[in-house]
């Protein structure tokens, strides 16, 4: 077991003296080298679809910080793009998409098996990374969970409460269910190809899971992710999977076991002592430093980092943030965090 990469050891259930660490959005705008490469690419989507440049920005934080894992540089909206949706990014505002608001929009999309030519540059990025990453660094592939991706496809952009998606879910459940089903099946195919290209772990990001309540959470956050994991593990037995149903609250309890995941990422609001008692017995826990501390730094960053490590030291733990690192983060604060974790 000691010969395995640290992240894989934690995902297999091992409790380590020093947890492995990586950061969500660790390749991004807080790094000057990323901004230079982004400028070379011209725009965000061009960067995502350029294997050499996408691999370069994925490798940049590994060179700078020596994280235990590297996550593929891509975006959750590449999948709807591959399915035939129009996708573009507005500087300073974020993504925009053509919308799916009725059955006629859904029938214009491609099938799950028709995405791979579009996604070929992403798979090539994974192949490059599998060759160029240090031997002790785990390569993570990822996708958005169906509910979260659907919210963007229905609204055409990010929304504060996902109201358009909830309206379609309640007003036209047949169209909504068909969209979720298409995204579920396409995500299996997409992640399968990432694994074939060299990804050693995959992560499913359900950034808006918390807006689903009660039975709707089980039907549209839990069940599609369960299907995806079962589909992947039937093709790749032993593949470790991390899930992140952000802001799930009490619904975090039992989620990893229910969907067949190996690790549960938790958001900033989750108390780590509660996580140690109710979540860690069932899976590895990933999290959950407040990204704001990567901006402000100081003694609070050090003490909170050490507190999280201490709270979760009794079981398998991957140190990470409770959400992605923000563009205004100080790169030096990442060094300070790593020193607090690794001593």
Active-site residue among 9, 30, 34, 38? 38
Active-site residue among 34, 152, 190, 252? 152
- Interatomic CA distance for residues 231 and 224, integer angstroms: 11
Active-site residue among 29, 64, 96, 306? 29
Whether 29 sits among the annotated catalytic residues: the reply is yes
Mapping DSSP onto H, E and C, the string for 62-129 reads HHHHCCCEEECCCCCCHHHHHCCCCEEEECCCEEEECCCCCHHHHCCCCCHHHCHHHHHHHHHHHHHH
Output the six-digit token pair for 29: 């705008």
Output the six-digit token pair for 333: 């604060």
Predicted local distance difference test score (pLDDT) of residue 91: 83
Active-site residue among 75, 114, 218, 330? 75
- Interatomic CA distance for residues 43 and 145, integer angstroms: 25
Structural domains of the chain, with CATH:
6-21+64-283 (3.20.20.210)
Give the position of tokens 């400028």: 39
Q: Where are the alpha helices (DSSP H) in the chain?
A: 6-11, 32-41, 44-48, 51-65, 78-82, 103-106, 116-132, 146-155, 163-171, 173-197, 214-217, 223-235, 255-259, 272-278, 293-296, 298-311, 331-342
Whether 38 sits among the annotated catalytic residues: the reply is yes
Q: What is the chain's pLDDT, residue by residue, as a tens digit (343 residues)?
A: 456 999 999 999 999 999 999 999 999 999 999 999 999 999 999 999 999 999 999 999 999 999 999 999 999 999 999 999 999 999 888 999 999 999 999 999 999 999 999 999 999 999 999 999 999 999 999 999 999 999 999 999 999 999 999 999 999 999 999 999 999 999 999 999 999 999 999 999 999 999 999 999 999 999 999 999 999 999 999 999 999 999 999 999 999 999 999 999 999 999 999 999 999 999 999 999 999 999 999 999 999 999 999 999 999 999 999 999 999 999 999 999 999 999 8
Active-site residue among 9, 25, 169, 246? 25
Predicted local distance difference test score (pLDDT) of residue 1: 46
Whether 25 sits among the annotated catalytic residues: the reply is yes
- Interatomic CA distance for residues 147 and 120, integer angstroms: 24
């Amino acid at each position: 077991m000691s010969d395995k990469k640290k992240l894989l050891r934690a995902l297999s259930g091992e409790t380590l003296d020093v947890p492995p660490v990586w950061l969500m959005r660790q390749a991004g705008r807080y790094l000057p080298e990323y901004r230079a490469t982004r400028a070379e690419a011209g725009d965000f989507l061009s960067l995502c679809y350029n294997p050499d440049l996408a691999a370069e920005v994925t490798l940049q934080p590994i060179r700078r910080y020596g994280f235990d894992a590297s996550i593929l540089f891509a975006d959750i909206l590449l999948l709807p793009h591959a399915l035939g949706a129009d996708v573009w990014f507005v500087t300073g505002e974020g993504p925009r998409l053509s919308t799916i608001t009725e059955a006629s929009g859904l029938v214009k999309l491609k099938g799950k098996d028709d995405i791979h030519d579009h996604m070929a540059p992403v798979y090539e990025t994974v192949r490059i990374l599998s060759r160029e990453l240090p031997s002790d660094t785990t390569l993570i592939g990822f996708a958005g969970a169906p509910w979260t991706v659907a919210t963007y496809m229905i609204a055409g952009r990010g929304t504060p409460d996902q109201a358009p998606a909830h309206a379609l879910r309640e007003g036209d459940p047949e169209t909504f269910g068909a969209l979720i089903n298409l995204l579920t099946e396409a995500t299996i195919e997409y992640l399968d190809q990432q694994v074939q290209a060299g990804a050693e772990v995959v992560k499913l990001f359900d950034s808006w899971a918390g807006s689903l309540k009660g039975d709707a959470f089980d039907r549209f956050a839990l069940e599609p992710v369960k299907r995806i994991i079962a589909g992947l593990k039937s093709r790749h037995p032993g593949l470790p999977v991390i899930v992140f149903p952000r802001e799930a609250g009490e619904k975090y309890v039992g989620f990893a076991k229910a969907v067949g995941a190996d690790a549960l990422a938790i958001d900033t609001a989750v108390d780590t002592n509660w996580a140690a008692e109710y979540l860690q017995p069932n899976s590895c826990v990933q999290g959950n430093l407040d990204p704001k501390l990567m901006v402000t730094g100081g003694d609070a960053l050090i003490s909170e980092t050490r507190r999280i490590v201490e709270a979760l030291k009794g079981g398998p733990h991957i140190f990470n943030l409770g959400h992605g690192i923000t563009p205004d983060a100080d790169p030096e604060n990442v060094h300070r965090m790593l020193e607090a974790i690794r001593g």
